[in-house]
Amino acid sequence: MKIVVPFKRKNAKSRLAGILTQEERDALAMNMLCDVMDALHGFEIDVLTTSMLSNSEVDLSPHILLSDSGLNEALNEYLNSRAGHDNDSVMIVMADLPLISSKHIKEIEELDADVVIAPGRGGGTNILYIRDPSGFYVDYYGASFIDHLRIARENGSSVEVYDSFAVSTDIDEPDDLVELLIHGNGRASRMLADSGFKVVVRDGRVVIDRNKM
Amino acid sequence: MKIVVPFKRKNAKSRLAGILTQEERDALAMNMLCDVMDALHGFEIDVLTTSMLSNSEVDLSPHILLSDSGLNEALNEYLNSRAGHDNDSVMIVMADLPLISSKHIKEIEELDADVVIAPGRGGGTNILYIRDPSGFYVDYYGASFIDHLRIARENGSSVEVYDSFAVSTDIDEPDDLVELLIHGNGRASRMLADSGFKVVVRDGRVVIDRNKM
């Protein structure tokens, strides 16, 4: 099995612009990628991105695979390139899943289905495991969970849905940072806490607040 | 083990007032309760509520336990009443979890920890399993996940977090209905679909929309 992690470098996490500067959003995205790389330790990993990445704590360089294509095009080229190899299964893991651990990856790999989908909140696909990439293609954006179910069925593939709160938690919007602060214990959650973020209860809802530094 | 399901009858699901009438919110809450009762079939269940409930499809009457207290007080009285009984473990299951199934309940019951917490989105506690209710108390509202972790540790109890997207999905706000429409297959999701709701993609986000009937 190969694991591929698409990583968007430019204007990452733009929906967090109201509470994080561009520099902080870039750092958060990089910390989440490193948390994901920690969870994937021991597997064969390709990080699919548009330009070279470097990090002082995690050596990403052996994993970088450059592509100028958009997300779907780059991933579909990748799937095509894997089809027909021995042991050609592919797991696509999003880079903004700071709560995942190696346990999730192993459990997904051990399921029997041809295709395993771990949903994200809001109709998304956070991890997608494809046992045989020939004839499969991805369609991210929008309600990709529904699209990937349909593609798998059209392809005659059996499908299993992997049920995990941790895997469902992708970090896109301010409310998602609540989950990261409460349930996280990696680099991304430490960065948030070190940046003065904490959870508070306001009008009965749990939200994030930032201490004046 | 006893399972207790607290059910708020009056002004249920008020955060959905912008898109559902009072009558629809009441019907949705009742349908979700019935979905939860289906998932709990075969277990000993008490539905803790303030006044008698009836439903044409599910016979709730043998399960109703009346209390005028607020949520925390009613549940803490319940836990007290169970402490010291043989086989006195208690599982508290929220009534607005239409995606749960009996598999979740069995898996939680089979874990070894003294206390099992299945988190909800936003710091909540959606299922709470307490092997020995003596010395334990609940504190719902706010970031109850953090509070229940603390209470268990103060009590010297071992804790396990149960990781499920389905269990984490409680239905409080319009965005939660997206999950119900995409992932649900029970009464509550059918009611929504029959009421003309569907998921659409708007500005890159998956949201709900309602057909003119």
Answer whether A168 touches B (CB < 8 Å): yes
Whether residue A151 is contained in a domain is answered as yes
- Smallest Cα distance from B178 to chain A, Å: 6
- Top residue of B165, B168, B169, B189 to mutate, by most chain A CBs within 10 Å, is B165
Residue A74, helix vs strand vs coil: helix
The length of chain B in residues reads 213
Q: How far apart, in whole angstroms, are the C-alpha atoms of residue A72 and residue A79?
A: 10
Q: How far apart, in whole angstroms, are the C-alpha atoms of residue A28 and residue A8?
A: 12
Rounded to 10°, the helix A22-39/A187-194 angle is 150
Tokens describing residue A134 = 């020939």
For residue A119, give the chain B residue with the closest CA: B165
Whether residue B87 is contained in a domain is answered as yes
Cβ-contact B110, B160 below 8 angstroms: no
Whether residue A69 is contained in a domain is answered as yes
Residue B20's domain spans which residues? Answer: 2-170
Q: Write phi, then psi, for B74 (nearest 5 degrees).
A: -60, -45
Whether residue B183 is contained in a domain is answered as no
Domain count, chain B: 1
Of B146, B183, B204, the CB nearest to A182: B146
Specify burial of residue A9 (Cβ count, 10 A radius: 0-12, 13-18, 19+). middle
Read off the pLDDT of residues B144-164 as tens digits, 9 standing for 90 and up: 999 999 999 999 999 999 999
Whether residue B189 is contained in a domain is answered as no
Q: Write phi, then psi, for B84 (nearest 5 degrees).
A: 90, -15
In this complex, how many residue pairs, one in chain A and one in chain B, have their CB atoms less than 8 Å apart? 72
Whether residue A71 is contained in a domain is answered as yes
Q: How far apart, in whole angstroms, are the C-alpha atoms of residue A201 and residue B123?
A: 10
Answer whether A206 touches B (CB < 8 Å): yes
For residue B201, give the chain A residue with the closest CA: A142
Give pLDDT tens digits along chain B (213 positions).
Answer: 999 999 988 888 999 999 999 999 999 999 999 999 999 999 999 999 998 888 888 889 889 999 999 999 999 999 999 988 777 899 999 999 999 999 999 999 999 999 999 999 999 999 999 999 998 999 999 999 999 999 999 999 999 999 999 999 999 999 999 999 999 999 999 999 999 999 999 988 999 999 876
CATH at residue A142 = 3.90.550.10
Which residue, A137, A202, A129, is CA-closest to A159? A129
Whether residue A176 is contained in a domain is answered as no
Whole-complex ipTM: 0.95
Average pLDDT, chain A: 95
Whether residue A32 is contained in a domain is answered as yes
